[in-house]
Amino acid sequence: MATVTLCMIVKNEEKILDRCLSCLYDLVDEIVIADTGSTDRTKEIAAKYTDKIYDFQWIDDFSAARNFIFSKAAGDYIYSADADEVLDEVNRERFRLLKENILPEIEIVQMYYCNQLKFGTVYNYDREYRPKLFKRVRTFNWIDPIHETVRTEPLVFDSDIEIIHEQEESHAKRDLAAFERLCAKGERLSGRLLDLYARELFIAGEEEDFLRAEPYFKKMCEEEGRSEEEWKEAFCVAAKAARLRGDVSGFYKYAMKAAACGSCAEICLELAYYYEAAADDKEAAVWFYNAAFETESILDIRCGGVKALLGLAGCCRRSGMEEAAQEYERMAAQKDGQQE
């Protein structure tokens, strides 16, 4: 049977760490924990389950912390968990069966991450696959009977295990502040991080978050070497920030650039909000309709769903079309349920 090391990074998790470890400790063979500067009872609670607790000086880099604690693991597989995760009895049994039966060629196991919309930050769905179990030492295998080559893509298994994400509060402000610090250092965000920053802004950001992010995303709008999708995401953030500032020229500049890349629900919604604020419900309704039915969301699924449909409902109600307003509200409620 494969051995599993549980790896965690923690800081000031005294309220929830015992809940997490109590449902995992008897499923794994080793627990190693990196503490990044707790000032509460976190390390005392962790010591009930393991003596492999390491201090890691926080350098504003989650990857560095995870790489450090992964280096301390000795099991065949590494299970990466956060303190706000819970496995119920059904999924504890699924985990146990997976551990007993996992095929040695499997290198990554994905598990469902659930309850994501409770404090949504970068999430569009309540239940999504995430890689959670990793083979510690990779074995390279030759494949193909002729023109043989080494398999470089990991073998990924999608399990039926559901992890309940029971965070105590939204991490949006923390995450957005971390993005702002990276940008202030002049870091060039990868395409993946650019997407996550833009996504977090649209899903959980407030007006001041957009305004602080605006200079960086305007710079990205001009940066060479970006993909069309990356530029479009940057145009969306820059357009919304300009609208919020009342900069009509800047708003149209970036909205039209996004449209030139192939429009999206986010930009249609921004145009709708612009005309709604100008008391032009007829034009606003055109763009709410385009957001809901003619384009796709690239950052926040609600832009092409709930938000657009409720905007349409408002335009209809103000125009005396109560029956249409109620129908759009019904559709919005149905869309909202589909995200869960």
All structural domains of the chain with their residue ranges: 4-165
Q: Confidence band (pLDDT; 50, 70, 90) for 87?
A: very high
Contact yes or no for 5/73 (Cβ under 8 A): yes
Q: If you average pLDDT over residues 225-250, what whole number do you get?
A: 96
pLDDT(339) > 70? no
Q: Confidence band (pLDDT; 50, 70, 90) for 95?
A: very high
Condensed to tens digits (0 to 9), the pLDDT of residues 288-327 reads 999 999 999 999 999 999 999 999 999 999 999 999 999 9
Read off the tokens for 324: 């249409």
Q: Confidence band (pLDDT; 50, 70, 90) for 89?
A: very high
Please report, in angstroms and rounded to a whole number, the separation of the first and last CA atoms in the chain: 36
The 3-state DSSP class for residue 35 equals: strand
pTM of the model: 0.77
4-165 CATH: 3.90.550.10
Q: Confidence band (pLDDT; 50, 70, 90) for 340?
A: very low
